[in-house]
Amino acid sequence: MAALTETEIKEISKLSGREAVRRLAGHFAWREFECDVLRHFHQRFVHDVARFAWTRGFPWSDVVRAAAMAKDVFPQLTGVGVARQLDLLGEARSRRLPHLTPLHRGQLSRYLADACVGSHRPLAAALALAVSGANTSTERRHLKVQVPPRPLPLAQGMTLEEAELQRRQAELTTALGRTEHRLQALRDAPRVTAVAEVDASGRLNAEGVQEWARAAASQAAAALRQEAALVAELLELRLQCAVSADRERHSPAASPRATPKQTRQPRVAKGRKK
């Protein structure tokens, strides 16, 4: 198994999707999963991250590092929530690719965040498969009928209102983590990406400087508006989380259910017969 080099990754970038996945996979050992399907998703994820890097113009040395980062971090993403996945991806990017330009760092952060929220098909499918506990090393040839669990007695279970509160709290927590990561990615990205044009002599003319200044001001203003919108969204989500948590604390499930006392029936005195 030969090490992945810059020359080799350049050759891989010229191949079609399936052939590129196969050739890139030949440079790593795949011992993390016994399941063939999960291993395939693992290889696809590594290829997709590397492809994203080379199509965005990353230096070839950073493309190699991005592939290695994706290979190492993928197994850690199974069985954890979205907020933890975002943390793991951010830590892996900072550790493996510390010298990215602000533009490339922001692009890669947004791409990895998008992978966590489900639009990245190989990652979303693999995580769903891992969470379900499927083991495809043994083929399933029979249907398995799953019977819903027997409900607990009312004194031990929860009402529909309590279940809805818990579901809403989980949704808000997920949305909060996603918004925080989007805000951080925006702050890490450069505010201005406009490039000033020079004339044939390599000098800036007055008109070019004015156009660059207008474009830079427009981009900076757009970034500030986007950041303000995300901050407002973040504050709103935090407020909703606090309200939901307060309701859950004061729900009937948070206090022991009182058992009604049995009242003794009054006795009726029988009169003597005359």
pLDDT attached to residue 136: 44
CB 274 within 8 A of CB 183: no
Q: Give the domain range for residue 239.
A: 160-191+219-253
For residues 181 and 77, state if they share a domain: no
pLDDT attached to residue 23: 92
Among 28-37, 208-217, 252-261, whose mean pLDDT is lowest?
252-261
Among 33, 30, 38, 26, residue whose Cα is nearest residue 1? 26
Cα(38)–Cα(89) distance, integer angstroms: 19
pLDDT attached to residue 134: 45
Of residues 149 and 167, more confidence is placed in 167
For residues 180 and 108, state if they share a domain: no
- Say whether pLDDT at 217 is over 60: yes
CB 55 within 8 A of CB 46: no
The upper half-sphere exposure of residue 32, i.e. CA atoms within 13 Å in the direction of its Cβ, equals: 20
For residues 97 and 169, state if they share a domain: no
For residues 111 and 8, state if they share a domain: yes
For residues 115 and 50, state if they share a domain: yes
- Quick one: the chain helix, strand, coil %, rounded to 5? 60, 0, 40
Cα(107)–Cα(188) distance, integer angstroms: 10
DSSP structure class, residue 191: S
For residues 81 and 125, state if they share a domain: yes
Residue 235 lies in a domain: yes
Residue 59 lies in a domain: yes
For residues 64 and 113, state if they share a domain: yes
Of residues 208 and 127, more confidence is placed in 208
For residues 13 and 92, state if they share a domain: yes
For residues 122 and 225, state if they share a domain: no
DSSP structure class, residue 119: -
Cα(236)–Cα(175) distance, integer angstroms: 11
For residues 176 and 123, state if they share a domain: no
Domain total for the chain?
A: 2
Cα angle: 155, vertex 164, 180; to 5 degrees: 135
- Per the structure block, which two tokens stand in for 116? 């966590």
- Say whether pLDDT at 138 is over 50: no
For residues 125 and 186, state if they share a domain: no
Residue 150 lies in a domain: no
Reduced to 3 states (helix: H, G, I; strand: E, B; else coil), residue 99 is coil
For residues 183 and 104, state if they share a domain: no
pTM recorded for the entire structure? 0.48
